[in-house]
Amino acid sequence: MLVKGEVRRYAAEWIEQLPKGKVFHLSDLYKYLKANFPDECDERGMTPDNREPQYEKDARWAVQDCKFKKLIELAHPRGCWQRL
Q: What is the mean pLDDT of residues 9-24?
A: 97
The residue-averaged pLDDT of 37-42 equals 95
Cα(1)–Cα(44) distance, integer angstroms: 10
- As a whole number, mean pLDDT of residues 65-74 equals 97
DSSP for 19-46, please give it.
PTT-EEEHHHHHHHHHHH-HHHHHHH-B
Query: Domain segments of the chain: what residues?
Result: 6-83
User: What is the average per-residue pLDDT within 17-43?
Assistant: 96
| From 2-6, 15-19, 69-73, the region with the lowest mean pLDDT | 2-6
Strands 23-25 and 80-83: antiparallel
Q: State the CB neighbour count (10 A cutoff) for residue 39.
A: 8
Question: 6-83 maps to which CATH number?
Answer: 1.10.10.10
